Amino acid sequence: MRPRRRSGRLSAAALALALLAAPALAVNPGEQLPDPAQEARAREISAELRCMVCQNQSIDDSDAPLAKDLRLLVRERIRAGDDDKQVLAFLTERYGEFVLLRPRLRGETLLLWGFAPAILVLGLAGYAIWAFRARRRTAAAQGLTEEERVRVEALLAREAGPGAKG
């Protein structure tokens, strides 16, 4: 039994390693620039761009044909002498703000950036109101102790006067 268990662990480790290495394999050797500095810039820019097919993955990590085309376009713009901002501006102009994995904070994207914190604040406020009301309900539902009941009756009797019957 022992060798089988070790084999299972080895298989799991190999699978984990393969999954972690997969993004590095997304960029084909034919796509790479000969200058290591330019290639590093291309990879950095590609990590900031959304794959329009996968949507929650950068073009650097994606194997989709469109991602490959976008990676080639990034490298083409770098070879043409564009700086990082120019490459991003070119792609944003061509594909819209959606191509950026992290949209810029502007008037149009303010709702996008503010929506999650607003929902969180509303949720916390709702929970606080619910907890306050629940605590107040349980305090009211507990009723009076025997001592409190006797005291209330004495106060009511004193207020009612000597001729009142209870």
Strand spans (E) along the chain: none
Supply the mean pLDDT for the chain. Answer: 81
pLDDT digits (tens, 9 = 90+) for 109-137: 677 778 888 899 999 999 999 999 888 87
| Amino acid 113: pLDDT | 73
| Amino acid 25: pLDDT | 47
CATH H-level superfamily of 2-99? Cytochrome C biogenesis protein (1.10.8.640)
The full set of domain ranges for the chain reads 2-99, 110-160
CA distances for 162 relative to 60, 108, 151, angstroms: 91, 76, 17
pLDDT digits (tens, 9 = 90+) for 1-49: 455 566 677 777 777 666 665 554 445 555 677 778 888 998 999 999 9
CA 81/CA 86 separation, integer angstroms? 9
The proportion of the chain whose per-residue pLDDT surpasses 70, expressed as a percent, equals: 80
Contact 75, 33 (CB under 8 A): yes
CA distances for 58 relative to 46, 68, 83, 96, 100, angstroms: 7, 11, 19, 15, 9
